[in-house]
Amino acid sequence: MSVRHFRSLLDLNSQELRQILARASELKKMLAEGVAHEFLKNKSLAMIFEKSSTRTRVSFEAGMTQFGGSSIFLSPADSQLGRGEPIPDTARVLSRMVDAIMVRTFSHDTVETLAEHSSVPVINGLTDSFHPCQLLADLQTYFEHRGDIQGKTVSWIGDGNNMCNSYINAAELLDFELLIACPPGYEPMQSLLDDNKDRVRLLRDPKQAVAGSSLVATDVWASMGQEDELQKRLLDFADFEVTPELMSYANNDAIFLHCLPAHRGEEVSAEVIDAPASLVWEEAENRLHAQKALLEFLLCS
């Protein structure tokens, strides 16, 4: 059987995604109840980080430890990647030593190239284009608190970035309506919008985008690698802060999610992110459980 990768959510079909989300909740329960689950004993995960991380690194490392396996952190600063060793060579070498490779990088092509030359699963831990691991956690959080997301309305407010692109993938796989409000010039990938005209709408008014919504999500206005654009972005996104007033246009039981790290007073106000409707801490925790379910799916099925 050919090796399965997780370059974007679309490497899964709807049924597989649902299976992983259900398993994530099971694994969460097993961990809480102290049930042994060393399903990846003696397996190892190489983790390449070309950008900073707290949640992704810790959740993958802790997850591998809980599974009885181990993880190896690699950064360009202290590996040959930083000295120009080609990605295909890195993929070939790591494939012979570890059981899976996770990569956080800039260009999505790097993930594609790694996957092309790797004989073990490659997992996208964030690129400029997608952040599929985060979507596993976001969806798990929604399912655990509100049930099935199919047919629901979800709002994305702010930058049409890697997270937004992955929300579009999720809308396609799980059949929900996605209303995106972003300023001109900050739209998500046009090809994704074109492929999902029936369920994804691009709007300019955040109030219109949260009307009837069950889930309001946002992210930073300047992603990693865009630090130089921050001042311009602060001006361009000024009308896109998720405030209590904006949340009042959503459904009464709408939840708020943010992949974190967050900037209170920019993309979200403290009154929203620190309120009971905000499930961001559980969302962050679910990175651990969802990625364990993903690792098990890729390595054991």
Residues forming contacts to ligand NVA in the complex (CB under 6 A) are 126, 131, 161-163, 219-220, 223-224, 259
Instruction: Provide CB contacts within 8 A for 15, sequence distance 6+.
Output: none
Active site residue 219: yes
Tell me: is residue 252 an annotated ligand-binding position. Answer: no
54 binds, among ligand NVA, ligand CP, none (CB under 5 to 8 A by kind): ligand CP
The minimum distance between CB 162 and ligand NVA, in angstroms, equals 5
Bridge partners (DSSP) listed for residue 102: 47, 123
224 is in an annotated binding site: yes
Give me the half-sphere count of Cα atoms (radius 13 Å) on the Cβ side of residue 224: 19
289 assigned binding-site residue: no
Q: Which of 283, 205, 288 has the alpha carbon at shortest distance from 246?
A: 205
* 195 is annotated as an active-site residue: no
E strand or H helix at 94: helix 87-95
Which residue's CB is nearer to ligand NVA, number 62 or number 224?
Answer: 224
Q: How far from each other are the two terminal CA atoms of the chain, in whole angstroms?
A: 10
Residue indicated by tokens 């798990």: 140
Considering the candidates 233, 258, 287, 289, report the single residue annotated as catalytic: 287
76 marked as part of a ligand binding site: no
Which of the following is catalytic: 5, 7, 131, 233?
131
Annotated binding residue at 219?
Answer: yes
Residue 204 near residue 183, CB atoms below 8 Å? yes
233 tagged catalytic: no
Q: Pattern of binders to ligand CP over 235-274, x per CB under 6 A?
A: ------------------------xx--------------
| Residues with Cβ within 8 Å of residue 252, at least 6 apart in sequence | none
**Shortest reach from residue 221's CB to ligand CP, in Å:** 15
For ligand CP, what does the binding mask look like between residues 5 and 34, x meaning CB under 6 A? ------------------------------
CA distances from 260 to 58, 120, 257, 285 (A): 14, 29, 9, 11
Describe the crossing of helices 87-95 and 108-117 by its angle, rounded to 10 degrees.
50
- The Cα-based distances of 88 to 112, 115, 235 in angstroms read 10, 9, 41
Name the active-site residue from 99, 138, 159, 219: 219
Site for ligand CP in 108-127 (CB under 6 A): 126
Counting residues that bind ligand CP (by CB under 6 A) gives 8
Report in angstroms the alpha-carbon separations of 38 from 27, 29, 30, 61, 81: 11, 14, 11, 14, 31
Segment near ligand CP (CB under 6 A); pick from 32-40, 50-58, 170-178, 192-200: 50-58
Token digits for 266?
A: 């920019």
Q: Which of 134, 138, 140, 159 is catalytic?
A: 134
55 binds ligand CP (CB under 6 A): yes
Residues 16 and 132: their CA atoms lie apart, in Å, by 14
Specify the residue, 149 or 262, whose C-beta has the smaller distance to ligand CP: 262
CB nearer to ligand NVA: pick between 25 and 226: 226
Using CB under 6 A as the binding rule, whether residue 56 contacts ligand CP is answered as yes
Return the active site residues.
Answer: 104, 131, 134, 219, 259, 287
Annotated binding site for L-ornithine: 162, 219, 223-224
Binding site for ligand CP (CB under 6 A): 53-56, 126, 134, 259-260
